[in-house]
Amino acid sequence: MKCNHASDIALGLALATISLVLGCYIDAGHGGCSSGSYPAKAQRTEELTVPLGEVSALDVETNVGTIVLDSAEVAEAHITADITVRAKTDEEAQQLVEQVRISAAPSGRDLVIKAVKPPGFGRNQLAVDFTITAPGRLAVTGTTNVGDIRVTRFAGNVEARTDVGKIVCNGLRRDATLRTNVGDIRAAYAPDAPARIELAATTNVGDIDFTGPSEVSARLSASSNVGSIDTDRPLTVTGQMKKSINATLGNAEGDIRLRTNVGSIKIR
């Protein structure tokens, strides 16, 4: 990536600002946070198996934590939630972590999965990492403020949103909307996915790596204020290829939009 130094500085400033807002430092390897004001930590893991019935989509929400969604040949959703609570004392942290509830409830044809804080949780800190295995036929939505999101081989539409964290989607087959403020985005379609693609991938600070199916039919727009744009694909480009490009792939039936402020874009 060109301009790595500028990207690193912007990333550091963004993390420092968010750290001050949250009152904690970001644990990039875990998706959690810690603070000198809340030195005690308690953890537990909860596992659930949920029948899906007529459910056609998963909607997973966590404020601080990672979201991992993997498809498999199963009929139910298998949910693992790693729960971490930070508080001022060991006793308080342990009491609160035991009271955090994982909710997996239907809403229409969606299964909404989230953590519910107990009454009196106060300003103590909660991080919940979700690892979920579910049928590949589903559409999925993952939302977190601080944490990475990974989605693998789902046939339905994919939506992923995080403020600080990277988004990695492999084996995409349908429309996808991927958005992060600070973090890289990787969007890789299955080689045999339909040629018509609707994809929007946006980050403020981070690289975007897009891999399309073997045949692609879409209008393409890509822009980077600080960084390079490179492609392995034959493109019909409108205008000059500098900080932004507008191009067509195949018959231009779909729409691909790739946006980063500080970072590079790779089109494969």
Q: List per-block mean pLDDT (blocks of 10 residues) for the chain, which spans 268 residues.
A: 48 51 43 66 98 97 98 97 97 98 96 97 97 98 98 98 98 98 98 97 98 95 94 74 84 97 96
Q: Contact 77/120 with Cβ under 8 angstroms?
A: no
- CA–chain centroid gap for 170, Å, is 12
The token duo for 65 is: 């934590």
Task: Residue 219: name the closest of 185, 189, 258, 186 by CA.
Answer: 258
CA atoms within 13 A on the CB side of 117: 16
Q: What residue segments make up the domains of the chain, in order of their start?
A: 1-31+147-268, 33-136
Q: Which residues contact 204 (CB under 8 A, 6 or more apart)?
A: 14, 180, 181, 182, 260, 261, 262
Q: How far apart are CA 114 and CA 128, in angstroms?
A: 9
pLDDT reported for residue 187: 98
